[in-house]
Amino acid sequence: MVADNKFQVLENMGKSPNVVREKAAVTRPRRETLNGHRSVNLWFTGLSGSGKSTLAHAVEERLHLMGCRTYVFDGDNVRHGLCSDLGFSLEDRSENMRRVAEMIGLFIDAGVISLTAFISPLEADRRRVKELIGAENILEIYCNCSLEICESRDVKGLYKKAREGKIKNYTGISSPYEPPKQPDLDLNTGEQSLNECVKIIVAELKDRGVIL
Amino acid sequence: MVADNKFQVLENMGKSPNVVREKAAVTRPRRETLNGHRSVNLWFTGLSGSGKSTLAHAVEERLHLMGCRTYVFDGDNVRHGLCSDLGFSLEDRSENMRRVAEMIGLFIDAGVISLTAFISPLEADRRRVKELIGAENILEIYCNCSLEICESRDVKGLYKKAREGKIKNYTGISSPYEPPKQPDLDLNTGEQSLNECVKIIVAELKDRGVIL
């Protein structure tokens, strides 16, 4: 029973008030030290076509080349996966945001720089995400691009369908977009180049000591 | 509008059939190369008290010291977070497993070695997880410890309560545990020492080329 006791001893730590510290010895700070950078979430918000996803992937590429651990969340890997059971009712959108926030929290704990590219049109939703994972862990980046330019891009042809009434509750057309009141970065993605925007974000991460 | 076009060019890639490849340029293989190890999930299954969580954290500690990117999922960070809306009905347990699987999938994609410590008593549930994220991405580790030993440990005093009928549907007492038929590793966590178990798992990861 000696061998067994070795398990017992560690299990017993669970009875102490410090259970998490003693059991989960690999913590966020240790992971950050191993990675050589801090973990954070870059929350891109803006109209469809404002460049959120493009910018998130371009920033990820840059950070990856700098040796950072990164991950981009977008509709593809969230809506079709973790949240595949959810629709677009108010309740479901709210639950979608909650899960995204919880997931970001896990990635932050895991030492990863996550980048989220969701329209996230409502201030209340964005505020709730900050409350759940801590505002200090998020950099809110407003992809500030006029509806005119977004609509002229119309990558997926969805604005056209929305104008024709074939899509209901389309953000910017038939559903509101509430611009962030105090975004950490306000980028004019309609006029600034992709490269300029990437540089601004990387500089901000350096300023904040997230990366070296 | 030149600057604007730079966004446009990248966005347009979305129209090609290779949208994911061209946009999400930072891929799992690139992350694995950066990390110096492959990503995988270590799925610990076994009775309460069989040493799943202890072993998962001990393996994580070892892997972290070897420079690996790791993350442990357990009841604390999943049941209280991502799945806090779920109870313990059959439906909710099933949805819990689905979300855990989707989350593991994201971590695998992110290049991380995740370790999950859930009782996961049902073969059907474990099979579903494998189907969702690909059996090749999971190492199923059976913490094979007799009910007698688990009950004698009774870290949380739950076996006692289950015996007294104060907890219903307690795995091993009033609810079945279906041992894995073909686990990748079958560890006698009742008799082998924690250190021995860790060594076996690390050796297996080396054999499979997950770590160097």
The per-residue pLDDT for range A180-206, each reduced to its tens digit, is 999 999 999 999 999 999 999 999 999
> What is the spatial distance between Cα A6 and Cα B145, in angstroms, rounded to a whole number?
14
| Interface residue B65 vs chain A (CB under 8 A) | no
* pLDDT higher than 70, residue A207: yes
Decide: B71 and A35 in contact? Cβ < 8 Å.
Answer: no
pLDDT the model gives residue B24: 58
A91-98 mean pLDDT: 88
pLDDT the model gives residue A162: 95
Q: What percent of chain A has pLDDT over 90?
A: 75
Residue of A nearest to B26 (CA): A61
Q: Which residues of A are catalytic?
A: 120
Decide: A172 and A48 in contact? Cβ < 8 Å.
Answer: yes
Q: Would you say residue B126 lies in a domain?
A: yes
Please indicate whether, in this complex, the C-beta atoms of B61 and A156 are within 8 angstroms of each other.
no
* pLDDT higher than 70, residue A59: yes
Structure confidence at residue A24 as a pLDDT band (50, 70, 90): low
Please give the distance of CA B190 from its chain centroid, rounded to a whole number.
Answer: 21
Q: Would you say residue A174 lies in a domain?
A: yes
Please indicate whether, in this complex, the C-beta atoms of A102 and B82 are within 8 angstroms of each other.
yes
Which residues of chain A are within 8 Å of residue B111 when distances are taken between CB atoms? 69
Q: Would you say residue A151 lies in a domain?
A: yes
Q: Would you say residue A111 lies in a domain?
A: yes
Token couple for A27 = 């913590």
* pLDDT higher than 80, residue B116: yes
pLDDT the model gives residue A19: 30
Q: Would you say residue B4 lies in a domain?
A: no
Q: Would you say residue A6 lies in a domain?
A: no
Decide: A57 and B19 in contact? Cβ < 8 Å.
Answer: no
pLDDT the model gives residue B130: 96
For the ranges A60-69, A71-80, A185-194, B9-18, the lowest mean pLDDT is seen at B9-18
CB nearest to B70's CB, from A3, A26, A67: A26
* pLDDT higher than 50, residue B9: no
- Report CA torsion sign: B55, B61, B67, B72: positive
- What global pTM score does this model have? 0.88
pLDDT the model gives residue B14: 35
> What is the spatial distance between Cα A19 and Cα A39, in angstroms, rounded to a whole number?
24
> What is the spatial distance between Cα A198 and Cα A103, in angstroms, rounded to a whole number?
24
Q: Return the SS3 of A41.
A: strand
**Edge-to-edge strands, sheet with A113-117:** A70-73, A113-117, A40-45, A138-143, A185-187
Decide: A93 and A50 in contact? Cβ < 8 Å.
Answer: no
Which residues of chain A are within 8 Å of residue B23 when distances are taken between CB atoms? 53-54, 57
A–B CB contacts, 8 A cutoff, strictly below:
157
C-alpha angle A178-A139-A38 in degrees, rounded to nearest 5: 165
Three-state helix/strand/coil letters over chain B? CHHHHHHHHHHHHHHCCCHHHHHCCCCHHHHHHHHCCCCEEEEEECCCCCCHHHHHHHHHHHHHHCCCCEEEECHHHHHHHHCCCCCCCHHHHHHHHHHHHHHHHHHHHCCCEEEEECCCCCHHHHHHHHHHHCHHHEEEEEECCCHHHHHHHCCCCHHHHHHCCCCCCCECCCECCCCCCCCCEEECCCCCCHHHHHHHHHHHHHHCCCCC
CB-based contacts of A150, cutoff 8 Å, min separation 6: A47, A48, A49, A50, A159, A172, A190
Q: Nearest CA to CA, how far is A207 from chain B (Å)?
A: 24
B115-119 mean pLDDT: 96
Q: Nearest CA to CA, how far is A24 from chain B (Å)?
A: 6
Which residues of chain B are within 8 Å of residue A102 when distances are taken between CB atoms? 81-82, 84
Q: Return the SS3 of A176.
A: coil
Range of the domain at B172: 19-206
List, in sequence order, every beta strand (DSSP E) within A58-166. Answer: 70-73, 113-117, 138-143
Q: What's the number of domains chain B is made of? A: 1
Q: Return the SS3 of A73.
A: strand
Q: Which residues of B are catalytic?
A: 120
State the CATH number of the domain containing residue B186.
3.40.50.300
Q: Would you say residue A54 lies in a domain?
A: yes
B70-89 mean pLDDT: 88
pLDDT the model gives residue A74: 85
The model's pLDDT over A113-146, given as tens digits with 9 standing for 90+, comes to 999 999 999 999 999 999 999 999 999 999 999 9
The model's pLDDT over B138-184, given as tens digits with 9 standing for 90+, comes to 999 999 999 999 999 998 899 999 999 999 889 999 999 999 999 99
Q: Would you say residue B47 lies in a domain?
A: yes
Structure confidence at residue B79 as a pLDDT band (50, 70, 90): confident
